[in-house]
Amino acid sequence: MLTESGADFMIHGVYKFSLMGKEIWITTTTVSTWVVCIILIVFAIFARKTILNASDVPGPFQNILEIMVEGLEGMTQGVLGDNAYRFINYIGTIFLFILLSNLSGLLGMRNPTADYGVTFLLGIFTFIIVQYQGLKNRKLKHFTSLFEPLPLLFPINIIGEFANPLSISLRLFANLLSGVIMLGLWYGMMPILLKIGLPAFLHIYCDVFSGCIQTYVFCMLTMVYIGDKLE
């Protein structure tokens, strides 16, 4: 999308096709998501091969993998305790996907997480896992707890259950979209001399700093919501 001021927020249609009488667009967000998924798949293939052939004298890539796994274990165990092993694969997957999506702006791509369709689905997955764990671990109490401490609070409690996935998805989306807008306005409206060098600081804040923080916040809140259903 190109505004009258010349600001480009990188929302473009790449390819259009028809399916069952409906027009469907492949957008820049779709392409960026594919690129992120391909990078993660390639990373997973090399990681598996490295782990299967692990040696007592690890190389640089094996060291990186061990640091990542230890950090992930520490983060999940700090919130979920002994149940961390049950969710570490999911938390690790969304952590890597969100982090790489947030950092994709450094490669000149449209951040997938700056599209609410992406973050909303992540929130829905979290909601499904949370509700499943509530039913599995708390049985009937999963429903009766909605009437606690007073039956009159049922509407507020039920709204709170549905507000959790919306809040974490909107938080991630809004923070990344604000960065895309800021950078788009800067590149579109500033003189050419101010487009050299200075935008690097904006990328460091919007893509790296904010991207890492929002990845951590999303995963932590997901674990907190899951942990609440494990009591």
Scanning the chain, the segments in alpha helix (DSSP H) are 28-52, 60-80, 84-103, 116-138, 141-144, 154-189, 199-203, 210-228
> Each residue of 138-165: pLDDT tens digit?
777 777 777 777 777 788 878 888 888 8
Distances (CA, A) of 86 to 70, 139, 231: 16, 19, 15
The whole-model pTM stands at 0.85
Q: 70 is written with which tokens?
A: 């230890």
> Each residue of 170-214: pLDDT tens digit?
999 998 888 888 877 777 776 666 667 677 777 787 788 888 999
- CA count, 13 A, side-chain hemisphere, 7: 12
| Residue 106 to residue 12: CA distance in whole angstroms | 18
Q: 200 is written with which tokens?
A: 């690097």
